[in-house]
Amino acid sequence: MILRGLFLLCVLGAPLAAATIEGRVVLPKARATPVVNQRYEIVAKAGVLSTNPPVAVVYLEGSFPRPSAAPVAQILQKDLTFVPALLPVQAGTRVEFPNLDDTFHNVFSFSPTKRFDLGRYRADERPVPGVLFDTPGLVTLRCDVHEHMRALILVLDTPHFTITAADGTFRLTGLPPGRHTLRAWIDSKQTKAHAVDLAVDATLRVDFP
């Protein structure tokens, strides 16, 4: 009877038991900045791109299927700022760039992972301009109209990811049991890795020093 119940759960598409990982990433110290607002901004030092205040993207690496239909995410252009300044997405995701300002914007990227130029457009542009990000890697966004605007899109070959809180804590749920590699992206030159063995209905603690 138990086996039959499990079979019915699979057939009916009910959620199966999954694993959870929680922990903390030790983040670099925030850098002094003249910007008075509290949004994340992108800083560059010696060719290294990172967020300020620092955060990390924690993700589970493995062999996972890509979505059958392209998911949609957004990076807003508001108050002459990209919001959010760091966006992790699964490869195959379309990212839209709504303009919420009373001025023109022109989102573009020279990054090898994805080169594009959306041209100048206003807030009433329809459909909302967007780009399909289908290759894993890091993409740096810029605005041709406003030189100070920067943002990062981290394209990952996994649906399992999250951004840490400002104190470096994170929690990943709904993970497939088994052996995988957990990674913490800290900046464009630094990604830490930790092997994990996930059990059904179990919570694993992983810290990245």
Tens of pLDDT, residue by residue over 30-82, are 876 554 444 568 988 888 999 999 999 999 998 888 888 889 999 999 999 99
Other CB atoms within 10 Å distance of the CB of residue 93: 23
Mean pLDDT to the nearest integer, 151-159 = 97
CA distance readout (Å), 191 to 5, 36, 181: 42, 29, 12
| d(C-alpha 136, C-alpha 139), whole Å | 9
In a domain, 65, yes or no: yes
Q: What helix, strand, coil percent values describe the chain, rounded to 5? A: 5, 50, 45
Residue 131's domain spans which residues?
22-204
| d(C-alpha 81, C-alpha 84), whole Å | 9
Cross-strand pairs, 57: 163, 185
**CATH number of the structural domain spanning residue 143:** 2.60.40.420
CA distance readout (Å), 132 to 85, 90, 159, 177: 18, 11, 16, 30
Number of domains comprising the chain: 1
In a domain, 41, yes or no: yes
In a domain, 107, yes or no: yes
| Predicted local distance difference test score (pLDDT) of residue 40 | 61
In a domain, 195, yes or no: yes
| d(C-alpha 192, C-alpha 209), whole Å | 9
pLDDT tens for residues 26-41? 999 887 655 444 456 8
In a domain, 6, yes or no: no
CA atoms within 13 A on the CB side of 135: 8
In a domain, 69, yes or no: yes
In a domain, 152, yes or no: yes
pLDDT tens for residues 112-141? 999 999 999 999 999 999 999 999 999 999
